[in-house]
Amino acid sequence: MSKNNASLLEAARSGDIKRVRTFLSTGASASVNDGDGTTALMFAANSGYTEIVKMLVESGANIDCKRKRYGLTALMLACAAKQLDIVRILISKGANVNAVNEDGSTALMIAALKGYSSIVQALIDAGANVNLQDKDNDTALELAVKQGHSGVVDILVKAGADVNIQDEQGETLLMLASEQGYLEVVKALLSSNIEVNEKNTDGDTALSIAAAGGHTSIVETLINKGADVNFQDNHGETPLHIAVVEGFSEIVELLLKAGADVNKRNNLGDTPILVAALQGYSNIIKALLEQGADLEVRNLSETPLTLAAIQGNVETLKVLLENGADANTQLQDGKIILIEATKRNFKTITQELLAHGANVNCKDENSATALMWATSLGYVKLVEVLLKAGADVNLKNRGGYTALMLAEFNGYPSIVKILKAAEERE
């Protein structure tokens, strides 16, 4: 490289207009580049030296020359650096707006990724292809969606970018935006002819993805655009199932208002109320019951009430009992809910069941009562609760043992004392 060319390169790099003018006038090449293939024009474009860019292009600089590293052009560097004026100059001088670098990216993709709306518009006006894909199969629109650049998305959509592209997993742009919670991006996409109910390979739609993420406003927006609230994914889950699992009560309300089926079962046989009972979401259970959820629905012998009781979810149990759930519910394997609560030392749950009509003297398959179980396990407080509710101390199990015998056998003197006092009262 001649000294004159080297000096021009350095002057362009540092932004020294006077020296650039001098070296160009004395024969330096406007297309000079360093060992990496970075030209004087690239340095100036990247740094925002507008006047130097003008001098170089007017002196015949190779506008579309690519740098050795990554294959970047001056236009791409100007786009990445948000140099709108320079972008316009390069375009006016014939820069190739659809040139690609080593990754297959174009200037439009770079600007879209960065969220530079004005540059994106300038490139489109100059004929940039909005549907080119890079080596990762991303388009400018997809890159903008992933970054949440709603303004860029709006521009690209209006310019005819393909809004219905899907990746190998069937993910759509609407799904990507819904997952990330980008409401304005979702709105921009929905302004086009996008398919709102498209499914990915897991059977998910944008609605179910938004519901899983707790993105209430997006769920509402999708519903208003015709999203199907009753579709089922590959696991039989509806958006309502998904919202219930996550405990998103506002989304549950939106789905119910839109006509979601409260009694639809997933592939495991669960309805939304069974899921809510298992998770202990009492407010959601209220909402489901108001819309006609089956209070006594069963799956694998479990009802909402048995699930709430076994999980120790007191508030959920109360809601179910207050709405008419049967306190004497038996599981299909013969287990009785009151006895199961007693075994787990759930005092409050036991009290609630008794207060709502549970038979204090019910017996399991071995004729053991709740009192016998509380005695055998040493649960003093529960023994007192059961006796207060009228538990019969003289009943015997299949082996012929009373609760008192079991207390004596297991060495619980305090319970023995309580039971003897109860016997005397009888």
Which range is least confidently modeled, 182-191, 331-340, 394-403?
331-340
Segment 265-321, tens digit of pLDDT? 999 999 999 999 999 999 999 999 999 999 999 998 899 999 999 999 999 999 999
pLDDT given for residue 2 in this prediction: 83
Q: Decide: 265 and 297 in contact? Cβ < 8 Å.
A: no
Q: Where are the alpha helices (DSSP H) in 194-346?
A: 206-213, 216-224, 239-246, 249-257, 272-279, 282-290, 304-311, 314-322, 337-343
Mean pLDDT throughout 317-329? 96
Handedness of CA 262, 266, 270, 275 (dihedral sign): negative
Residue 335 clears pLDDT 90, i.e. is over it: no
pLDDT given for residue 154 in this prediction: 98
Q: How confident is the model at residue 1 (pLDDT cuts 50, 70, 90)?
A: low
3-state secondary structure of 39: strand
Q: For the chain, which residues make up each domain, given as ranges?
A: 355-426
Residue 425 clears pLDDT 80, i.e. is over it: no
Residue 400 clears pLDDT 80, i.e. is over it: yes
pLDDT given for residue 370 in this prediction: 97
Amino acid identity, residue 154? D
Q: Decide: 301 and 333 in contact? Cβ < 8 Å.
A: yes
Q: Decide: 331 and 361 in contact? Cβ < 8 Å.
A: no
> Which tokens sit at 340?
């199961």
User: Residue 33: what are its φ and ψ, rounded to 5°?
Assistant: -140, 160
Compute the mean pLDDT over every residue in the chain, rounded to the nearest whole number.
Answer: 96
Segment 4-60, tens digit of pLDDT? 899 999 999 999 999 999 989 999 999 999 988 999 999 999 999 999 999 999 999
pLDDT given for residue 136 in this prediction: 94
Q: Which long-range contacts (CB under 8 A, 24 or more apart) does 36-39 make?
A: 36/67, 36/68, 36/69, 37/65, 37/66, 37/67, 37/68, 37/69, 38/67, 39/65, 39/67, 39/74
Segment 61-119, tens digit of pLDDT? 999 999 988 999 999 999 999 999 999 999 999 999 999 999 999 999 999 999 999 99
CA angle 226, 227, 232 (to 5 degrees): 145
Around 295, how many Cα atoms within 13 Å sit in the side-chain half-sphere? Answer: 17
- Closest among 148, 158, 43, 152 to 108, alpha carbons compared: 152
Architecture of domain 355-426: Alpha Horseshoe (1.25)
- Closest among 386, 421, 381 to 404, alpha carbons compared: 421
Segment 245-265, tens digit of pLDDT? 999 999 999 999 999 999 999
Segment 126-153, tens digit of pLDDT? 999 999 999 999 999 999 999 999 999 9
